[in-house]
Amino acid sequence: GAVVSQHPSWVICKSGTSVKIECRSLDFQATTMFWYRQFPKQSLMLMATSNEGSKATYEQGVEKDKFLINHASLTLSTLTVTSAHPEDSSFYICSASEIAGVSYNEQFFGPGTRLTVL
Amino acid sequence: KNQVEQSPQSLIILEGKNCTLQCNYTVSPFSNLRWYKQDTGRGPVSLTIMTFSENTKSNGRYTATLDADTKQSSLHITASQLSDSASYICVVSLPPGGYQKVTFGTGTKLQVIP
């Protein structure tokens, strides 16, 4: 149980294009989803927190107009990197949390998406 | 300065040996402390979860300990296997609910060699 999937697992795009990454909770309802970015040899950095049906909360320094997050259903959140540039190349990981199992507030992580912007 | 520091940064051990990874944190109070294993190019997978009142938790060959007085946690891996090669991340969650604010450690990259 508690499986989170991401699609695609990797993507290569040209500079200036937009890329959409999907995050799905497969066997539970995720009232809250998180998006992280991880650069090589660094720890995960939280980009934003999204609750189903409401606007995402972005961390300081993360451009909300560049990283569009939509959490339209309890099983799906999307991250769109708009007008991607080479410096946006990174490993993007989502995680999902289920309110019902709140005693430990565990986040279940997706497998990640490797984005390379040429 | 990161509120969750891990040591060593990297570690190489022989297959079958034991090892202990350290996590020192300044986040206080906290809701829970978790250890994750992250394989290269993959998302983190939870190994153990401990609340502030617990001092040990095991998951197979993985045993985590927590000393709230010294604000230290350790992850002990017994009889290491090649598949244990990964990064291990200590994560501290803030109260009250905790899940919306987590602090990730710097990670320890473990390599198990034959």
Residues of A with CB under 8 A from a CB of B: 4, 6, 32, 43-46, 49, 91, 93, 95, 97, 102, 104-112, 114
Which string of b and e fits A19-32 if b means at least 16 CB within 10 Å? bebbbbbeebebbb
CA-CA distances (angstroms) from residue B25 to A54, A83, A114?
33, 38, 30
pLDDT-derived band at B2 (thresholds 50, 70, 90) equals: low
- What pLDDT digit, counting tens, does each position of A72-110 carry? 888 999 999 999 999 999 999 999 987 644 444 678 899
Pick the residue of B34, B100, B108 with the most A CBs within 10 A to test the interface with A by mutation. B100
Average pLDDT, chain B: 89
- What pLDDT digit, counting tens, does each position of B34-81 carry? 999 999 888 999 999 898 889 999 999 999 999 988 999 999 999 999
CB contact under 8 A, B100 and A32: yes
- What pLDDT digit, counting tens, does each position of A33-80 carry? 999 999 988 888 989 988 877 888 898 899 999 999 998 888 999 999
User: What pLDDT sits at residue B102?
Assistant: 77
Q: How far apart are alpha carbons B21 and B88 in whole angstroms? A: 8
